[in-house]
Amino acid sequence: MSEHSIWAELPNAAAGFVIYVATLAVALRQSWVHSPPRAAIGSAFLVYIVVLAATAAFGHAANFWTLSIFFWFPTLVFLFAFGALYKSISFQILLYLLDRPGQTELYSAVLARYVEAESFEKRLAVMQKNGFAVLTPAGYALSDKGRRLTQVVIALQRLFAIERSG
């Protein structure tokens, strides 16, 4: 076994993380990006592959696992924060209140805008778009794809003893 410091991979991984954040910042400003979460995840994998290839191309005898840990830990923390900020209804409400005159709004207006519209109407549209549910004259109905997904979710909930979700 060679004398290889665990910290030797930190500069390459840190540079990779900085490049990832910069790549994502540029990518999200492009008109062809329709899904920020997909761009965030895709950019992470793309930059990771580039970091591995660059490390190998420059002849650096890197420890794959150490390099991967140092790259993916901050990247995953960033992805969790990105996802929370991107999808947080609470944060959207705070931004909405910030833009309102006097930074106040009626409870009923907030309820209608964020609980009804954001939580239900948009989610129903996403379920339809992804083929999990279909709109019928009687209301929404599970599609075959939606039924398969719910069966998988139920099995996972049973496996992990999750009695309630949502």
Among 7-16, 42-51, 108-117, which range has the highest average pLDDT?
Answer: 42-51
Domain boundary among 38, 63, 87: 87
Range of the domain at 143: 90-159
Among 84-93, 117-126, 143-152, which range has the highest average pLDDT?
Answer: 143-152
Residues 59, 81, single domain; the answer is yes
Residues 26, 56, single domain; the answer is yes
Instruction: Report if residue 15 sits inside a domain.
Output: yes
Residues whose CB is less than 8 angstroms from the CB of residue 51 and which lie 6 or more positions away in sequence, other chains included: 12, 13, 15, 16, 19, 67, 71
pLDDT (0 to 100) of residue 89:
80
Residues 50, 73, single domain; the answer is yes
Residue positions counted in the chain: 166
Domain boundary among 87, 121, 137: 87
pLDDT band at 3 (very low <50, low <70, confident <90, very high): low
Residues 36, 102, single domain; the answer is no
pLDDT band at 4 (very low <50, low <70, confident <90, very high): low
- Helix (H, G, I), strand (E, B), or coil: what is residue 140? strand
Residues 72, 144, single domain; the answer is no
Judged against a pLDDT cut of 80, whether residue 30 lies above it is answered with yes
Q: Is the pTM for the entire model greater than 0.85?
A: no
- pLDDT over 90 for what percent of the chain? 64
Residues 63, 106, single domain; the answer is no
Residues 75, 114, single domain; the answer is no
Judged against a pLDDT cut of 50, whether residue 1 lies above it is answered with no
Instruction: Report if residue 1 sits inside a domain.
Output: no
Q: How many domains does the chain have?
A: 2
Nearest Cα to Cα of residue 126 among 137, 140, 144, 111: 140
Query: Most distant CA pair in the chain: distance in Å?
Result: 70
Instruction: Report if residue 165 sits inside a domain.
Output: no
Instruction: Report if residue 35 sits inside a domain.
Output: yes
Residues 10, 82, single domain; the answer is yes
Q: Of 13-22, 68-77, 101-110, which gets the smallest average pLDDT?
A: 101-110
Judged against a pLDDT cut of 90, whether residue 118 lies above it is answered with no
Residues 124, 139, single domain; the answer is yes
